[in-house]
């Protein structure tokens, strides 16, 4: 949409940022350090806001709440690295959660598979639109998000008779902790993180994602089947969103039609704050992890402030904007 | 006739056809849809036209707002929240107001809409964050502000104010809502389109770099697009108040997605620079007609959202399919 905005700003940036000093250059090269420092500052902020809050329980709760966001943002990272965006992740997550809860009577495995199928199908539709037909990701995923949400509303009215139920192991996954300390969803998030970081850095597919995001035309000329990369990319994003939805519904133990609505903005914000460029080709999942943690700790601070819900919402949005803007200036 | 002159002949012809397709295609589609509605439901009459125009009014304003931003090469995912803010401001301030006071309040809300739009635009330009992310976030913030003004649905407006859109003063087939829509879109959009600003909007939307190199102030043009969108969003909020009679802080969410649907169906190119405001406004009427038709056809009106989503996807996919075919040639 404003892919050429960078071109416009380049001359201004060049004259303005004359000879960065050593620290700034270091931070620019190691943005993850800045993010971790910021995260640490926020944790200190929590402790200042209410002394005695930061302990092992708080830590494990933060990880517990960050995991679904982290998994959802994994998909968003993949899509953004190719220069796209997926606005259907919230609808996918809700759909997966709702299908799981209404089909739990058919057995837990079937229900989980059915939930994941939502991600697979919607992701595949997104992928076909973006990869094969060259549709703008924004509008494609907006459309499929609307479709998914609408179908869910229709489906929910047919399902009034049966009582939604969340299988026990999904409840454990979303809310339980091993030895009361290590959240179970960390056992899902950690492998996802491992696969993402090493897959993006080491696998052929991972490198292709960066390449396609950096310069699609060059990839085509080099013989890369760009559409295959993009298709798989969007399918993976859909699957991650569906899995995140399963974790979420395990945490709330109640499936409603607005379950994951509040996760759309954080899923995008975690990636942006984590330093992945929305224009593609730059960034990675390590930053997104820290981004997801920052947003979760931020929520925790806002909860401690004891402010009314709308005020929290305004502050949350404003801080996200400020962080993203500061980051954009640092890396420019 | 050699090949060269043949293509030279064909391309203006095709251009004329394409232009007329968007200018005449949408009204023709609307007429066809109305005829279809009349066919499946012969009692469809003046009253139904009134309620269609009234129901479509806020979405039409949202579509106009979205169209202007997209024409300038941006996107505004905060349209729905801006509508919600104006809606709750109107409903809480007008509750015990007289008609004259209500008009005064409406003017103030319109001015506030300009300011809100300007804030969106300035943040997009200054922050260097992509417009999608900025407006997604400001939409979140404006939504919070709407909740702050009015926690749950309530408030009201004087009957005289509601009657601006409800009913039909001139002829039963010419509802006030339609008049209001035509007047406000004409008053805001036509002067812009005819002026330098209109040219700048299209120039920036077509190619930012080219516009910049031709001496266009790209940043202020983009901000102005958001300002005009803010005005249309405020109109959307005001007309939503006229339509429902109350303020609802969460009612706006619907309009963000549907406004994008309306511009896609209304023939605005998402990359910017091509399209107009008329198409999206008519698309808003079409989108509002869908749930009505579904009820007439005895289908669950909740399919409306599915159809809306499917329409977006089909329209953009068809566009993509055509360009894939063309590039194969």
- Residues of chain A in contact with residue B132, where contact means CB-CB under 8 angstroms, are 1, 85, 138, 268, 278
Q: What percent of chain B has pLDDT over 70?
A: 92
> Is residue B175 within 8 Å of residue B50, measured between CB atoms?
yes
Q: What is the pLDDT of residue B97?
A: 84
Nearest to B140 among A157, A265, A332 (CB): A265
Q: How far is B183 from chain A (nearest CA, A)?
A: 30
Least-confidence region, from A47-51, A136-140, B122-126: A47-51
Q: How confident is the model at residue A161 (pLDDT cuts 50, 70, 90)?
A: low
Search chain B and give the residue with CA nearest A7: B209
Q: How far away is chain B from the Cα of A201, in angstroms, using its nearest Cα?
A: 26
Per the DSSP assignment, residues forming a β-bridge with A178 are A182
Q: How confident is the model at residue A14 (pLDDT cuts 50, 70, 90)?
A: very low
What is the reported pLDDT for A332?
A: 64
Of the pLDDT bands very low, low, confident and very high (cuts 50, 70, 90), residue A270 is very high
Mean pLDDT across B179-187: 88
DSSP state of A263: G
The answer to whether A56 and A183 have CB atoms below 8 angstroms apart is no
- The backbone region for A19, taken as left when phi is positive above 0, alpha when psi lies in -120 to 50, beta otherwise, is left
Q: What is the ipTM of this complex?
A: 0.83
What's the pLDDT band for A13 if we cut at 50, 70, 90? very low
B18 falls in which pLDDT band (50, 70, 90)?
low
How far off is chain A from B74, nearest CA to CA, in Å?
6
* Average pLDDT, integer, range B185-197: 88
In this model, does residue B64 exceed pLDDT 70? yes
Asked whether residue B6 carries a pLDDT value surpassing 70, the answer given is: no
Chain B residues touching residue A153 (CB < 8 angstroms): 302, 305
Judged against a pLDDT cut of 80, whether residue A291 lies above it is answered with: yes
More confident residue, B78 or A16: B78
- Residues of B whose CB is below 8 A from A157: 300, 302
Q: Which residues from A are below 8 Å from B208, CB to CB? A: 2, 4-5, 7-8
The nearest alpha carbon in chain B to A313 belongs to B144
Q: Is B123 exposed, middle or buried (0-12, 13-18, 19+ CB in 10 A)?
A: buried
Q: What residues in A contact B136, CB-CB < 8 Å? A: 264-265, 268
Closest C-alpha among B320, B263, B317 to residue B60: B263
Inspect the interface and report whether the beta carbons of B261 and A268 lie closer than 8 Å: no
| Cα-based distances in Å from B287 to A188, A297, A309, B258, B282 | 42, 41, 33, 8, 9
Q: Which two tokens stand for residue A94?
A: 């809700």
Which tens digit of pLDDT belongs to each residue from A66-94? 999 999 999 999 999 998 999 999 999 99
pLDDT band at A177 (very low <50, low <70, confident <90, very high): confident
- Interface contact B306-A154, CB threshold 8 A: yes
CA distance B61 to B81: 13
Give how far A75 is from chain B: nearest CA, Å. 16
- The string of DSSP codes covering A38-90 is HHHHHHHHHHHHSTT--SHHHHHHHHHHHHHHHHHHHHHHHHHHTT---TTHH
pLDDT per residue as tens digits for the range B121-153:
999 999 888 888 899 999 999 999 999 998 888
Please tell me which residue of chain B has the smallest CA distance to A158: B300
User: Which pLDDT band, with edges at 50, 70 and 90, does A8 fall under?
Assistant: very low
B110 — pLDDT class (breaks 50, 70, 90): very high
Average pLDDT over residues A263-277: 89
Higher pLDDT, A329 or B64: B64
- Whether B5 has a pLDDT exceeding 60, the answer reads no
Q: pLDDT band for position A160 (50/70/90)? A: low
* Cβ <8 Å between B145 and A7: no
Q: pTM (2 decimals)?
A: 0.85
Collect all residues of chain B within an 8 Å Cβ-Cβ radius of residue A133.
316-317, 320-321, 324
Would you list the domain boundaries of chain B? 43-328
Residue A178 has phi, psi (to 5 degrees) of -75, 130
With a cut of 70, say whether residue B30 has pLDDT above it: yes
> Which residue does chain B place closest to A266, by CA atoms?
B137
B144–A312 C-beta distance less than 8 A: yes
Contact A4 B316 (CB under 8 A): no
CATH of domain A63-331: 1.10.3470
Strand segments (E) across chain B: none
> B313 vs A129: CB contact, 8 Å cut-off?
yes
Q: Which two tokens stand for residue A260?
A: 């994951």
* Range with the largest mean pLDDT of A31-35, B160-164, B183-187: B183-187
Cβ B308–A146 below 8 Å, yes or no? Answer: yes
Q: Which residue has the higher pLDDT, A12 or A158?
A: A158
Contact present, A145 and A90 (Cβ < 8 Å): yes
Tokens encoding B298? 């005895």
Contact A245, A262 (CB under 8 A): no
Contact B136 A311 (CB under 8 A): no
Specify the residue for token string 């491992």: A194
* Cβ contact B208–A5 (<8 Å): yes
Quick one: what percent of chain A has pLDDT higher than 70? 92
B-chain residues within 8 Å CB-CB of A147? 305-306, 309-310, 313
Chain B residues whose beta carbon lies within 8 Å of the beta carbon of residue A325: 126-129
More confident residue, A159 or B181: B181
**Residues on chain B touching A151 (C-beta within 8 angstroms):** 306
3-state secondary structure of A100: helix
Q: What is the mean pLDDT of chain A?
A: 84
Smallest CA–CA distance, residue A280 to chain B, in Å, is 12
Most confident of B3-17, B37-51, B197-211: B197-211
Cross-chain residue pair B130–A1, CB shorter than 8 Å: yes
**Closest Cα in chain A to B136:** A265
Contacts of A163 (CB under 8 A, 6+ apart): none
The chain A residue lying nearest B326, using CA atoms, is A133
Q: Are B275 and B269 in contact (CB under 8 A)?
A: yes
Distance CA A248, CA A256 (A): 11
Question: Higher-confidence residue: B291 or A311?
Answer: A311
pLDDT over threshold 50, residue B242? yes
Please state the rounded mean pLDDT for residues B279-286: 90
Percentage of chain B lying above the pLDDT 90 cut? 31
Instruction: Specify the pLDDT at position B12.
Output: 64
Tokens of A21: 């000093």
- Residue B21: band (very low, low, confident or very high) from pLDDT cuts 50, 70, 90: low
3-class secondary-structure state, position B167: coil
Can you tell me the mean pLDDT for A184-199? 88
Looking at residue A5, its pLDDT comes to 43
More confident residue, B77 or A176: B77
The mean per-residue pLDDT over the stretch B234-251 comes to 89
The mean pLDDT value for A36-61 works out to 84
Distance CA(B94)–CA(B80), nearest Å, equals 21
Provide the number of CB pairs (under 8 Å) joining chain A to chain B: 171
Low-confidence winner among A241-255, B10-24, B106-120, B135-149 (lowest mean pLDDT): B10-24
Domain ranges of chain A: 63-331
Rounded Cα distance, A76 and A280, in Å? 12
> Are the Cβ atoms of A317 and B138 closer than 8 angstroms?
yes
Of A274-288, B86-100, B106-120, B283-297, give the range with the top mean pLDDT.
B106-120
Closest CA in chain B for residue A261: B253
Instruction: Please report which confidence band the pLDDT of residue A10 belongs to, taking 50, 70 and 90 as the band edges.
Output: very low
Q: What average pLDDT does chain B have?
A: 85
Q: Would you give the DSSP letter of residue A162?
A: S
Comparing B300 with A214, the larger pLDDT belongs to A214
Distance from CA of B132 to the nearest CA of A (A): 9
Give me the pLDDT at residue B10, please: 54
CA dist., res. A267 & res. A288, Å (int): 9
- CATH code of the domain made up of B43-328: 1.10.3470
Residue among B64, B35, B80, B23 nearest B289 (CA): B35
Q: Choose, out of B203, B208, B320, B328, the residue to mutate when testing the contact with A (most A CBs < 10 Å).
A: B320
Q: In this predicted structure, what is the pLDDT of residue A11? A: 42
């Amino acid at each position: 949409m404003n892919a050429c905005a960078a071109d416009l700003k380049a001359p201004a940036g060049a004259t303005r940022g004359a000879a960065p000093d050593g620290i700034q250059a270091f931070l620019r090269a190691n943005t993850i350090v800045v993010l971790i420092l910021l995260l640490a500052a926020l944790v200190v902020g929590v402790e200042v806001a209410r002394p005695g809050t930061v302990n092992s329980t708080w830590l494990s709760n933060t990880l517990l709440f960050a995991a679904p966001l982290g998994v959802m943002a994994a998909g968003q990272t993949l899509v953004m690295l190719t220069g796209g965006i997926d606005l259907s992740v919230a609808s996918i997550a809700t759909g997966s959660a709702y299908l799981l809860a209404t089909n739990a009577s058919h057995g837990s495995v079937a229900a989980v598979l059915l939930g994941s199928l939502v991600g697979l199908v919607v992701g595949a539709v997104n992928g076909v639109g973006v990869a094969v037909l060259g549709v703008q990701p924004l509008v494609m995923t907006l459309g499929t998000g609307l479709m998914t949400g609408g179908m869910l509303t229709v489906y929910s009215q047919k399902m009034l008779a049966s009582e939604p139920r969340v299988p026990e192991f999904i409840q454990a996954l979303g809310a339980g902790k091993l030895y009361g300390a290590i959240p179970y969803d960390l056992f899902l998030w950690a492998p996802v993180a491992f696969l993402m970081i090493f897959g993006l850095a080491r696998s052929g597919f991972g490198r292709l994602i960066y390449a396609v995001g950096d310069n699609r035309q060059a990839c085509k000329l080099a013989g890369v089947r760009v559409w295959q990369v993009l298709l798989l990319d969007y399918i993976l994003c859909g699957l991650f969103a569906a899995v995140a939805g399963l974790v979420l519904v395990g945490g709330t133990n109640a499936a409603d039609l607005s379950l994951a609505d509040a996760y759309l903005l954080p899923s995008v914000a975690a990636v942006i704050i984590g330093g992945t460029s929305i224009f593609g080709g730059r960034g990675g999942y390590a930053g997104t992890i820290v981004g997801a943690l920052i947003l979760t700790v931020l929520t925790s601070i806002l909860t401690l402030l004891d402010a009314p819900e709308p005020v929290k919402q305004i502050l949350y949005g404003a801080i996200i904007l400020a962080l993203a803007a500061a980051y954009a200036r640092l890396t420019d | 006739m050699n090949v060269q002159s043949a293509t030279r002949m064909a391309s203006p012809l095709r251009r004329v056809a394409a232009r007329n397709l968007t200018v005449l295609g949408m009204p023709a589609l609307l007429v066809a849809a109305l005829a279809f509605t009349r066919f499946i439901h012969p009692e469809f009459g003046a009253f139904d036209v009134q309620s269609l125009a009234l129901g479509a009014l806020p979405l039409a304003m949202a579509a106009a707002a979205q169209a202007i931003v997209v024409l300038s090469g941006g996107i505004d995912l905060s349209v729905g929240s801006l509508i919600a803010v104006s809606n709750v401001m109107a409903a809480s301030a007008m509750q015990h107001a007289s008609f004259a006071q209500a008009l005064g309040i409406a003017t103030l809300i319109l001015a506030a809409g300009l300011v809100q739009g300007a804030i969106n635009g300035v943040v997009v330009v200054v922050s260097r964050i992509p417009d999608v992310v900025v407006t997604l976030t400001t939409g979140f913030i404006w939504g919070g502000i709407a909740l702050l003004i009015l926690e749950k649905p309530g408030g009201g407006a004087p009957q005289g104010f509601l009657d601006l859109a409800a009913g039909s003063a001139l002829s039963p087939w010419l509802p006030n809502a339609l008049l209001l829509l035509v007047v406000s879109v004409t008053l805001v959009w036509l002067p812009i389109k005819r002026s330098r600003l209109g040219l700048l909007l299209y120039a920036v939307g077509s190619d930012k770099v080219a516009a910049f190199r031709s001496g266009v102030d790209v940043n202020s043009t983009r901000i102005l697009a958001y300002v005009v969108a803010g005005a249309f969003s405020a109109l959307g909020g005001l007309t939503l108040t006229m339509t429902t009679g109350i303020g609802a802080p969460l009612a706006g969410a619907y309009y963000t997605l549907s406004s994008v649907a309306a511009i896609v169906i209304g023939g605005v190119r998402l990359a910017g620079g091509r399209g107009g405001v008329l198409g999206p406004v008519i698309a808003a009427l079409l989108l509002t007609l869908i749930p009505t038709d579904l009820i007439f056809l005895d289908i669950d009106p909740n399919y409306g959202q599915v159809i809306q989503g499917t329409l977006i996807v089909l329209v953009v996919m068809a566009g993509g399919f055509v360009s894939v075919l063309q590039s194969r040639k």
